[in-house]
């Protein structure tokens, strides 16, 4: 389940029904693209660094600007 302080990023769906394991790709793409520091901290606690890096490399939903930013951070 998505923490209540991050549910604002999932305005197009019911955030109480999002499962971190089942919807990993969706969560990572959304929060890597438009999340804030709290979202980034939660991502790093919830998902492995390898999962985050793989999503950055393969996703078409993450802009080149965001991908470059995260590649510098990670």
Residue ranges of domains in the chain: 22-73
User: Closest Cα to residue 27, out of 57, 74, 46?
Assistant: 46
Structure confidence at residue 33 (pLDDT)? 96
Structure confidence at residue 16 (pLDDT)? 87
User: Closest Cα to residue 69, out of 20, 22, 33?
Assistant: 33
User: Closest Cα to residue 44, out of 70, 14, 72, 11?
Assistant: 70
Query: What predicted TM-score, i.e. pTM, was given to this entire model?
Result: 0.91
List per-residue pLDDT tens for the chain, 74 residues long.
889 999 999 999 998 899 999 999 999 999 999 999 999 999 999 999 999 999 999 999 999 999 999 999 88
């Amino acid at each position: 389940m998505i923490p209540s302080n991050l549910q604002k990023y999932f305005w197009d769906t019911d955030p109480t029904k999002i499962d971190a394991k089942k919807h990993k790709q969706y969560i990572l793409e959304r929060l890597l693209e438009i999340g804030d520091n709290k979202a980034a901290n939660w991502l790093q606690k919830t998902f492995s660094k390898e999962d985050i890096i793989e999503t950055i490399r393969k996703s078409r939903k993450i802009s080149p600007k965001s991908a470059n930013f995260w590649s510098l951070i990670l």
